[in-house]
Structure 1
Amino acid sequence: MKNILFLFVVFFSLLGCKKMKQHQHEIVVEEVEEEESVADERQEQQNEELQESRSIAVLIAENAEFTDFHFLLQKADLATNLLENHGPYTVFIPTNGSLESSEVDNLDDKETAEFAKYYILNSSFSYEDLKAEIGENKGEFFLENSLGSTLQFAEKEDGIYLKTLSGDFMKVEKYTEASNGYLYKIEVNN
């Protein structure tokens, strides 16, 4: 009888230990998942802070889609003088495929600067602000750029568009926030 009682005690002790180990394992898994979640949130916040701490000029230089426009900014000496530390600005950047090489290859330094400045506003507009202004103005909105020229924006079914010097409409993609304003990618509407 003592042996049977001893076996029951050992059996229930082992069963209890197994349940306790399983419970401890669940606690450890929960703690690890919580730490990973906190680490992911911290990394995301650091990425956002890093993005916001970089200027528009740096964001343009780092993006392979903007090499043609970056070349124009450098040729016109606007990358350091206009977009590096001042602001706030709103800049609409045509992607490489949206800029015709013949359009910019034959420009002298003054024309290059004027062409690049055409896409730069001396004010800061978020996408939401642009959308609200267009809505208030019945589908169209006009803003003055850094040259004093007027940029025309229109809202179509699939988003906001900017009318270019040549009369084409380029779709305005959502912005990237920089330390000195907003950077928008624009592409030719096919």
Structure 2
Amino acid sequence: MKRSIFLAAGLLLLNLTTSRVFAQTTQDTTKKTTQDTAKAVTPAVEGASDVVGALASNADYSNALIAVKAAKLDSVLKTGGPYTIFAPHNNSLTTSKLDSLQKDPAKLASILKGHVVSGKYGKKEIVAALKAGKGKAVVTTLDGQTLTLSLAGSKLQITNAAGSSAQVTLFDLIGANGIVDGINGVLLPK
């Protein structure tokens, strides 16, 4: 009988010890895996190396990226800043329209400068500017024009001095020197 009790107590002790060791090993492995995953995700959270890289990070804005490069604005936007690009979605800047604009790089550059502002205007900053301006905010583009930000229903609308407008459809593609916000139209000058 004593042997049975000692044997049962020994098995119970062995079982508890094994369970604790296994649980500790599993917890350490989970911590390590979580830490390794967090390290792997960190560069994506921090954003692209620059605002042009942020623009390149989303294929829905590839025509805007092509236009920036064709107008030779990429070299300007890769340095300095911070910048915010209000990038037209591919649906609003068709390949045929882009092809015609590429034939006149000066005109293309002028149109694109009307989509870029100095300063960082992600969603958080835009909301703060709208609150401060009681529903409106005005920002200045690289070519010295103004863009008025306002709410149209629940959507953020951007209107340039010529009256051309578009709505923001994507916020916060982050680059080291700025942000890209996607819009559903092209802001054409006068």
Q: Normalization by structure 1: what TM-score?
A: 0.83
One-letter code aligned to 1:21: T
For structure 1, which runs of at least 5 residues remain unmatched after alignment? none
Give yes or no for the alignment of 1:70 onto 2:65.
yes
Q: After superposition, what is the alpha-carbon deviation per residue over 1:102-125, rounded to whole angstroms, capped at 9, x for unaligned?
A: 544333111111111110112232
Alignment of 1:99-178 (within 5 A): 99-101=93-95, 103-107=97-101, 108-163=104-159, 167-178=164-175
Residue identity (%): 18
Question: What is the deviation of 1:172?
Answer: 4.7
Q: Could you list the runs of 4 or more consecutive aligned residues of structure 1 that deviate by over 4 angstroms after TM superposition?
A: 100-103
Higher helix share: 1
Distance 1:56 1:186 in 2: 16
* Length-normalised TM-score, structure 2: 0.83
Deviation at 1:146, TM superposition (A): 0.7
Give the stretch that moved more between structures: 88-97 or 33-42: 33-42
Aligned to 1:41: 38
Q: Which runs of 5+ in 2 are unaligned?
A: 186-190
RMSD: 2.2
C-alpha separation in 1, matches of 2:6 and 2:120: 75
- Contact 1:151–1:163 (8 Å) recurs in 2: yes
Render the CA deviation track for 1:20-55: whole Å, top value 9, x for unaligned: 212221222222222223223333334324x25x11
Matched, 1:93 2:87: yes
Maintained 8 Å contact 1:120/1:145? yes
- Distance change (3 Å), C-alpha of 1:139 and 1:101: farther
Distance (whole Å) between structure 2 residues aligned to residue 41 and residue 104 of structure 1 = 40
* Larger Cα-atom Rg: 1
